[in-house]
Amino acid sequence: MIKKRYDKIKLSAQLWLAKRLPPCKEIVPLISQSLEQPLSLREKLKLRLHLLTCKFCIRYLEQLLFMRDVIHQCGNEDAHHELAFPSIQMSPDARERIKRALEKKQK
Amino acid sequence: MDAVGTIKQMKKAIRPEPANWLDEHGDYLYRFAMFRVRQESVAEDLVQETLLAALQVYQKFEGRGSERTWLCGILKHKIIDHYRKTSRTAQIDPETEARLENEDLFRPEGGKWADHWRADFGPVEWQGSPENLLEQSEFRVVLEKCIAFLPERIANAFTLREVEGFTSEEICEVLSVSANNLWVMLHRARKQLRRCIETDWFRLSK
């Protein structure tokens, strides 16, 4: 009962705040920029307050960090080991061409 | 066998064998390059250039570290040279860039909740951990396809940042762009990539 009431108050507070803050369209580039450099105090405040009100932008931030993690691991040298998926291979033509170029150079 | 003989034999064992490079490391180097340049012919050329360059200097390679790591180091330099070259020639495709900018992810201006996420395009919950996802070959296919879908110069900037972990200054130097320009490029790359991965993977696997 109390919990329900609290949720309701919280939601109206979030809506009240959200209407008075810059919209998501302005915040989304800021989220990306926060991964590149420390934000100014003003920008930081803008971002923090917005995140209090918006679950989409919270997810957006979390997912950018998630992608950073995934892509870093994927590009890691170990990931290119033979066991890794998918087993991308050089075409036989290219292999033959490179082999000839190497032999020519070694002579 | 005496100690000197053993050392000699060990040296022989770790000495690079150019004849075997292609068989032992060719596909590895090719995959490494493909993930970064996304075009088969470019990746093949980079592997060839790498092995030829290695051939010229391999007498200096003393077997410190593995042969593969050494070759990979050369390849990395070749890839960065390739980015440098394409940044000068790659045309900015206005159509694609405009599409990236004007995607209707947000509610129309003037209406209720203008410029907030549209309910149908707002980020959804992503299930699974990075490690878990990377074990699935289908996910890797989607990921690589989504990166390849980005305009080339944006994909290059993004790769330098997120795969190689270069700083903004280093990337600006390689691609000859200003810091502000780079941030816009990275923002667009992330926005589109996030949406592509969500549409082609997370919304489907629900």
pLDDT digit string, tens, across residues A60-74: 999 999 999 999 988
How many residues are recorded in chain B? 206
What residues of chain A, 43 to 82, have a C-beta less than 8 Å from chain B?
54, 56-57, 59-60, 62-64, 66-75, 77, 79-82
What residues of chain B, 102 to 161, have a C-beta less than 8 Å from chain A?
105-106, 113-117, 122-126, 130-131, 133-134, 136-137, 140-141, 143, 147, 159
pTM score, two decimals?
0.84
Q: How close does chain A come to B163, measured CA to CA in Å?
A: 5
Q: Tell me, what's the pLDDT at A6?
A: 87
Select B94-202's CATH number: 1.10.10.10, 1.10.1040.10, 1.10.1270.20, 2.120.10.30: 1.10.10.10
Residues of B with Cβ-Cβ distance to A26 under 8 angstroms: 115
- Chains A, B: CB contacts under 8 A, how many? 145
Give me the residue from B47, B126, B159 closest to A63, CB to CB. B126
Which residues make Cβ contacts (< 8 Å) with residue A71, sequence separation at least 6? B143, B147, B162, B163
State whether B130 and A70 contact (CB < 8 Å).
yes
Interface test with B, best of A63, A77, A93, A100 (most B CBs within 10 A): A63
pLDDT digit string, tens, across residues A2-40: 888 888 888 888 888 877 788 999 999 999 999 999 999
Q: Tell me, what's the pLDDT at B100?
A: 64
CA-based nearest residue to A105, from B44, B22, B32, B26: B22
Rounded to two decimals, the ipTM of the complex is: 0.84
Domain boundaries defined on chain B: 3-89, 94-202
Give me the residue from A25, A91, A97 closest to B106, CB to CB. A25
Kindly give the interhelix angle for B168-175 and B67-89, rounded to the nearest 10 degrees: 60
Q: Tell me, what's the pLDDT at A74?
A: 85
Do B21 and B71 meet the contact criterion of CB atoms below 8 Å apart?
yes
CATH architecture of B3-89: Orthogonal Bundle (1.10)
Interface membership of A102 toward B (CB under 8 Å): yes
- Whether the link from the prior residue into A86 is cis, omega within 30° of 0, is yes
Task: Return the beta strands (E) in chain B as ranges.
Answer: none
Do B77 and B94 meet the contact criterion of CB atoms below 8 Å apart?
no
Distance, in Å, from the CA atom of B80 to the CA atom of A81, rounded to the nearest integer, reads 22
Do B139 and B127 meet the contact criterion of CB atoms below 8 Å apart?
no
Interface membership of B76 toward A (CB under 8 Å): no
Q: Tell me, what's the pLDDT at B120?
A: 83
Evaluated on CA atoms A17, A22, A25, A27, the torsion sign reads: negative
Tell me the pLDDT of chain B (206 aa) as tens digits: 566 666 655 555 555 677 788 988 999 999 999 999 999 999 999 999 999 999 888 777 666 678 888 899 999 999 999 999 988 876 666 666 666 666 678 888 877 888 889 888 889 999 889 888 888 888 888 999 999 999 999 999 999 999 999 999 999 999 999 999 999 999 999 999 999 999 999 988 75
Do B189 and B157 meet the contact criterion of CB atoms below 8 Å apart?
yes
Distance, in Å, from the CA atom of B61 to the CA atom of B59, rounded to the nearest integer, reads 5
